[in-house]
């Protein structure tokens, strides 16, 4: 029994949901998202989106919760948006942006310049005495996570000093150094 799949997704005001065959389109103030689905049926009733499965087969059970969660993320994205924050920890680690270009100095001989997708809004916050923070905001949760993971992949946090690019709030498991 899918606990996630059985609960309906509430549609907030200002968001429209359309189901055409095997695709669902969600429109809101922040943008428009489309998702294809199969093995389940999706209905829009009385301000709610209801996902139902045709049988108790393993494939139907797994996709029941999956598509309900994806639809919920789409509705939340077009109404509120998704934000990921990355913190640059290390001496000399800096980040700045000019429009959609993110310029990062993370301990290599040259700076890394990365073009960010136009759907993702990038913002850098640099305060004296604090680590630089990069804020990524978009209506597409998958895209924000993918861009954040790519940025983090340039310099993952290491376990001895904790230097690297980490998510804000992420806890790095620290290891003890050499015992003298």
Ranges of beta strands (E only) in 29-146 are 31-36, 41-45, 48-52, 82-89, 94-98, 101-105, 112-115, 121-125, 133-138
- Residue 178 confidence (pLDDT): 86
Give pLDDT tens digits for 121-173.
Answer: 999 999 999 999 999 999 999 999 999 999 999 999 999 998 999 999 999 99
Which residues, in sequence order, are CB contacts of 123 under 8 Å at separation 6+? 97, 134, 135, 137
Show the domains of the chain with their CATH numbers: 3-79 (3.90.930.12), 82-167 (3.90.930.12)
Answer whether 114's CB lies under 8 Å from 53's CB: no
Residue among 85, 83, 53, 82 nearest 68 (CA): 53
| pLDDT-flagged residues of the chain (< 70) | 1-2
- pTM for this prediction: 0.88
Cα-Cα-Cα-Cα dihedral sign, residues 35, 38, 39, 41: positive
Cα of 172 vs its chain's centroid, Å: 20
- Give the integer Cα–Cα distance in Å for 155 and 176: 21
């Amino acid at each position: 029994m899918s606990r996630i799949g059985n609960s309906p997704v509430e549609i907030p005001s200002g968001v429209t949901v359309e189901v055409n065959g095997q695709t669902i389109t969600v429109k809101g103030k922040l943008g428009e998202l489309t998702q294809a689905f199969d093995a389940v049926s999706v209905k829009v009733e009385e301000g709610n989106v209801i996902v139902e499965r045709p049988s108790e087969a393993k494939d139907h059970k797994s996709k029941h919760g999956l598509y309900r969660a994806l639809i919920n993320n789409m509705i939340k994205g077009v109404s509120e948006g998704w934000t990921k924050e990355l913190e640059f920890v290390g001496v000399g680690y800096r980040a700045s942006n000019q429009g959609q270009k993110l310029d990062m100095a993370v301990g290599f001989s040259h700076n890394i310049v990365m073009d960010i997708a136009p759907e993702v809004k990038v913002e850098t916050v640099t305060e004296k005495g604090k680590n630089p923070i990069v804020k990524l905001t978009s209506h597409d949760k998958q895209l924000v996570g993918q861009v954040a993971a790519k940025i983090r992949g340039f310099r993952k946090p290491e376990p001895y000093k904790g230097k690297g690019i980490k998510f804000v709030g992420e806890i790095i498991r620290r290891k003890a150094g050499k015992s003298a």
